[in-house]
Amino acid sequence: MSTQPYRREGVTGRVLRFRFDGRDLEGLAGDTLASALLAGGVRAVATSVRLGRPRGVYAAGCEEPNAVVQIEEPFPEPMLTATTVELYDGLVATGLAGRGRLADRPDPARYDAVHAHCDVLVVGAGPAGIAAARVAARAGARVILADERPEPGGSLLGTTETVDGGPGRAWAAAEVDALAALPETRVLRRTTVIGHYDDNYIVAVERRTNHLGAAAPPGVARERVWRIRAKRVVLATGGHERFVAFAGNDLPGVMLAGAARTYVNQYGVLPGRRAVVFTTNDTAYAAALDLADAGIEIAAVADVRREPGRMWAARCAERGIEVLTGHVVTAAKGEGEVTGAEIAPRTGGRAREVAADLLLVSGGWTPVVHLFSQAGGTLRYDEGLGAFTPGETRQAAEAAGFAAGVTTLRACLADGAEAGRRALAALGFGAPGVTVPVVEEEPAAAPAEHLWLVESGDYGTHFVDLQRDVTVAEVLRATGAGLTSVEHVKRYTTAGTAHDQGKTSGQLTGGVVAHALGVDVAALGTTTFRAPYTPVSFAALAGRDRGPLHDPVRTTPMHEWHVARGALFENVGQWKRPWYYPGLGEDPGEDMEDAVLRECAAVREGAGAMDASTLGKIDVVGPDAGVFLDRLYTNMMSTLKVGSIRYGVMCRPDGMVFDDGTAIRLADDHYLVTTTTGNAAAVLDWMEEWLQTEWPDLRVRCTSVTEQWATVALAGPRSREVLAALAPGLAVGKDDFPFMTWRDAEVAGIDARVCRISFSGELAYEINVSSWHGLALWEAVMASGEVTPYGTETMHVLRAEKGYPIVGQDTDGTVTPQDLGMEWIVSKKKADFVGRRSYARADTSRPDRRHLVGLLPEDPGVLLPEGAHLVSVSAAASVPSSVASAALPAVPPVLPVPALGFVTSSYRSAALGRTFALALVSGGRGRVGERLYAPVGDDLVPVTVTSHVLYDPEGARRDG
């Protein structure tokens, strides 16, 4: 196979075509992009981020520090490791230099999320994980087994070890297939657990169709976020091999020994032709022997130790492999890729160069303790491994297998089974009789010797973090600058902060720091492990919460009518409220200003209707309902007669306005109170909080009925005749149905409650029907032919003309009812109510508090922006002369200019024939008639302070 010159002889499979860095290449089904590139002889895969050095494939899993690629087709995706990208037909990718590129178009793929629950979650389907899962699953527990790779087996995939007399890889596949067939067990392949949080809340990402490329079926989520709650967790997360810092250890062709073994065994790929092995421990010998069996010439093994494992040395001797004990590789040699290794006695002496195109490194193995540590577990240093292993945890979780520091296959299988049994015992399941699989006797390992760096006079290419281009020289600069903590060195050098989060470099960096400081690695400790374990795409995290499903839109029963009539909508919390209806007048092209003026005029002169269904509504029921409302509102509610309605204001204990609305007395023990649209839930919570925590003695129950009722506000001098026509059975006369009373009646044939209240100053009614009938009522009102629909903007203008504040617009949590000019609503008779005591504070009676006032711009066509600040005459003189107008006296500026207040509402008024505004102004009621200035852009707009009630101050219009 000439297109795959480094494919191991005899390996066949379905051929897949792909393109990398513009080159057309071929691989086999089952390849990763990395294994296919190696098979094709591609050595330099990426470029280093800072130094621009060529980099090759270094590892065989998610710990890959070098081979970072950009997927171009079928859809752009940045910063993936070639070692975890499964090959598919049509893949187009390029190597990256540390930074990728997001797609310039929306991702058409579907992403979703799902919640799952289990008795036992096993993370990792290697020997220990499978052993744990089969014990737990056979007992009938609900088990989830999650593994990041497409195929189960973990370490067994890359070795030639046998289990139960057969290949380990086949054993793993059969065991996991059997588990997947159990009704209460779920096997999640291609699923990386990225976070382990409190109470065994686990987040994992499943890659479901990524590996299918363009053939991925539409409608199937490409990636899925799993949110798992597990009663027990077994972390069988295995280990990552680390390397050693020596000169040129980043050259393409330098590779972790275990990774090379995996490429040979799992993928049938030869990562080179002639290899030098550099090791600190026995594990690299197994790799060397497997490579030799595959036909790769092992030029030499440089073992830093004096005494390697005896059996390994013997096997090397059998094959004629030279083992140089007490030696180190001092440098990788080659331009752009490895052509040889410089080997020297560790204690110094003559170095010799050995030709090779592959340099395998093993600096020992580090247990993957990320999840254990994330979840709050402590770590302790294991002298034998030269790495940190799990200690104590407050979670119902434990590590098993190599993640727990267990080193042999036999022991990992036993440890996993024990972890499964302990999980069952903790959950109260009986332990099933499950036999531990049989494995070959493994020779006792000779102790490893933890070498972090090969000493040299120049540490400029002794890399510790390949992805961040951090060398020993930089670590020494950090320690030389006085840093003594690995956390500080991490931040100073950025070692461990790349996409791989230091999976291969973290322990190495710690070792080098300890070496430099002359301290113990154990005492130095590690940096903190944080989620996510591997990078996660934003698309996966967003899931289906995009577009229209990003946030719920709440609609009223009349919504479709408003949409059909071209209404524009205002967002009020999650509600969509009709804002105004452009084009419903004679001019189909009218803009907002014209539409609102038209709607306002219709209400002031004829009749208008607004969908007021969004107002919050709460049924307050019980013998103490009156007492309860007396305590929450500033005014008296218990004296309200059945059949009547009262406006009320609620304050916080600090005396500041919290909400306003009306209370309708339906019966002696039954009120219906309304709230502002945005505060409906907050007011109900407020009521429940007082009832449950302060006044449990009150016999009152509150129930939200916001959406039980649809409400049509019918307003204008002609509203009475419209209502009379719709409700022939209702006596609508001024005296029969007075202001601030309510009546039950049939309106348009629908059972309704009609309230005579007004938020515009005009004669007005609010007609409430069951929300099922909201649309029918609205259509009946519109069918009268005399009613103009109006939106919230018109409502705002009309109420502002009357000086009625909107809580949250004209108030901001620092405004008392008195500030709003509503001292009349604060009872002087009631013994107490929420907020009362604050009115005795000196601060709430300061004369310079900000009062709600009206503003009339001197130019009646000028519309002030809401939020504009207001300054006084003397302060105004401090502005540059270029903008000062003749109206400004030449008074020396007084700096800083004191802001007297700000505009809270500003509109054009059809009724007033001019613009106007409401504002909160310091001592405002004492400034009526005074001229203030609003700095707007480069202009100063002169305005006159007036009463906040600008229209019909005597209230003559409310009876029609």
Partner 1 sequence: MTADPVADSVAESAAGFVIGRRSPAAAYSDRFAAASAGGAIRLAEIPFLTHLNVRADPASPAAERIGTALGVPLPVEPGVVTEGGGLSVLWLGPDEWLVVGPDGAARELRERIRGAAAGEHVSVVDVSAQRTTLVVAGERARDVLAHGCALDLHPREFGPGRCAQTLLARTGVVLVAKEDGFWVLVRSSFAAYAAEWLLDAVVEYTAVECRG
Nearest to 173 by CA among 159, 195, 156, 191: 156
Site for partner 1 in 232-271 (CB under 8 A): none
Number of H helices, E strands in the chain: 21, 49
Sole binder of partner 1 in the list 88, 633, 709, 790 (CB under 8 A): 709
Of 560 and 685, CB closest to partner 1 = 560
Nearest to 545 by CA among 782, 831, 225: 225
Contacts of 890 (CB under 8 A, 6+ apart): 877
110 binds partner 1 (CB under 8 A): yes
668 binds partner 1 (CB under 8 A): no
Distances (CA, A) of 186 to 115, 127, 189, 253, 577: 13, 18, 10, 40, 46
Sole binder of partner 1 in the list 93, 132, 291, 748 (CB under 8 A): 748
Sole binder of partner 1 in the list 29, 102, 114, 894 (CB under 8 A): 114
**Part in contact with partner 1 (CB under 8 A); list of ranges 311-319, 481-489, 700-708, 930-938:** 700-708
958 binds partner 1 (CB under 8 A): no
Of 686 and 916, CB closest to partner 1 = 686
Sole binder of partner 1 in the list 307, 689, 736, 744 (CB under 8 A): 744
**Part in contact with partner 1 (CB under 8 A); list of ranges 289-297, 449-457, 620-628, 852-860:** 620-628
**Part in contact with partner 1 (CB under 8 A); list of ranges 359-367, 477-485, 530-538, 741-749:** 741-749
Contacts of 382 (CB under 8 A, 6+ apart): 388, 389, 405
Nearest to 670 by CA among 629, 706, 730: 629
Of 644 and 708, CB closest to partner 1 = 708
CB of 708 to partner 1, least distance (A): 4
Q: What share of the chain is helix, strand, coil (3-state, %, to 5)?
A: 25, 30, 45
705 binds partner 1 (CB under 8 A): yes
Distances (CA, A) of 706 to 162, 646, 767, 930: 68, 19, 14, 44
Sole binder of partner 1 in the list 701, 734, 837, 846 (CB under 8 A): 701
682 binds partner 1 (CB under 8 A): no
**Part in contact with partner 1 (CB under 8 A); list of ranges 41-49, 235-243, 723-731, 814-822:** 723-731
Q: Which two tokens stand for residue 862?
A: 């000028």
CA 476 to chain centre: 37
Helix (H, G, I), strand (E, B) or coil at 824: helix
Distances (CA, A) of 887 to 876, 898, 916, 928: 10, 19, 20, 19
**Part in contact with partner 1 (CB under 8 A); list of ranges 57-65, 202-210, 262-270, 427-435:** 202-210
**Part in contact with partner 1 (CB under 8 A); list of ranges 147-155, 158-166, 420-428, 722-730:** 722-730
Q: Is 934 within 8 Å of 900 (Cβ atoms)?
A: no
Of 204 and 301, CB closest to partner 1 = 204
CA 393 to chain centre: 26
CB of 771 to partner 1, least distance (A): 4
CB of 404 to partner 1, least distance (A): 28
544 binds partner 1 (CB under 8 A): yes
Sole binder of partner 1 in the list 776, 862, 863, 912 (CB under 8 A): 776
CB of 623 to partner 1, least distance (A): 6
Q: How many CA atoms lie within 13 A of 520 on its CB side?
A: 7
Site for partner 1 in 569-608 (CB under 8 A): 575
Of 634 and 711, CB closest to partner 1 = 711
Q: Is 64 within 8 Å of 466 (Cβ atoms)?
A: no
Nearest to 347 by CA among 305, 299, 300: 305
Query: Where on the phi/psi map is residue 635: left (φ > 0), alpha (ψ -120 to 50), or beta?
Result: beta
621 binds partner 1 (CB under 8 A): yes
Q: What is the 3-state secondary structure (H, E, C) of 715-784?
A: ECCCHHHHHHHHCCCCCCCCCCCCCCEEEEEEECCEEEEEECCCCCCCCEEEEEEEHHHHHHHHHHHHHC
Sole binder of partner 1 in the list 79, 130, 144, 221 (CB under 8 A): 221
616 binds partner 1 (CB under 8 A): no
Q: Is 250 within 8 Å of 463 (Cβ atoms)?
A: yes
Sole binder of partner 1 in the list 188, 194, 476, 645 (CB under 8 A): 188
- Please, which residues bridge with residue 452 across strands? none
665 binds partner 1 (CB under 8 A): no
619 binds partner 1 (CB under 8 A): yes
CB of 564 to partner 1, least distance (A): 12
Find the Cα–Cα–Cα–Cα dihedral 300, 301, 302, 305, rounded to 10°: -150
Q: State how far the Cα of 592 lies from the Cα of 30, in Å rounded to an integer.
A: 62
Sole binder of partner 1 in the list 52, 150, 460, 728 (CB under 8 A): 728
Sole binder of partner 1 in the list 160, 325, 497, 770 (CB under 8 A): 770
Distances (CA, A) of 626 to 274, 357, 669, 695, 785: 92, 90, 7, 13, 42
Cβ-based burial of 281 (10 A; exposed 0-12, middle 13-18, buried ≥19): buried
Provide φ and ψ at 869, rounded to 5°.
-85, 160
Q: Is 487 within 8 Å of 528 (Cβ atoms)?
A: yes
The Cα angle at residue 560 between residues 558 and 566, in degrees rounded to 5:
110
**Part in contact with partner 1 (CB under 8 A); list of ranges 82-90, 502-510, 579-587, 695-703:** 695-703
107 binds partner 1 (CB under 8 A): no
Number of residues this chain uses to bind partner 1 (CB under 8 A): 67
Of 203 and 251, CB closest to partner 1 = 203
Site for partner 1 in 277-336 (CB under 8 A): none
Sole binder of partner 1 in the list 35, 155, 771, 905 (CB under 8 A): 771
Nearest to 158 by CA among 80, 34, 269, 65: 269
94 binds partner 1 (CB under 8 A): no
753 binds partner 1 (CB under 8 A): yes
Of 141 and 329, CB closest to partner 1 = 141
Sole binder of partner 1 in the list 780, 800, 806, 910 (CB under 8 A): 780
Sole binder of partner 1 in the list 7, 43, 53, 142 (CB under 8 A): 142
Residue written as token pair 């007609």: 767
Q: State how far the Cα of 207 lies from the Cα of 112, in Å rounded to an integer.
A: 11
**Part in contact with partner 1 (CB under 8 A); list of ranges 55-63, 219-227, 285-293, 510-518:** 219-227
**Part in contact with partner 1 (CB under 8 A); list of ranges 3-11, 366-374, 508-516, 617-625:** 617-625
Contacts of 859 (CB under 8 A, 6+ apart): 941
DSSP state of 692: I
565 binds partner 1 (CB under 8 A): no
CB of 638 to partner 1, least distance (A): 17
Of 304 and 618, CB closest to partner 1 = 618
Sole binder of partner 1 in the list 181, 444, 549, 887 (CB under 8 A): 549
CB of 549 to partner 1, least distance (A): 6
CB of 147 to partner 1, least distance (A): 13
**Part in contact with partner 1 (CB under 8 A); list of ranges 369-377, 399-407, 583-591, 705-713:** 705-713
Interacting residues with partner 1 (CB under 8 A): 110, 112-117, 142, 188, 206, 208-209, 217-221, 224, 227, 229, 544-545, 548-549, 551-557, 559-560, 575, 614, 619, 621-623, 699, 701, 703-709, 726, 728-729, 744, 746, 748-753, 770-776, 780
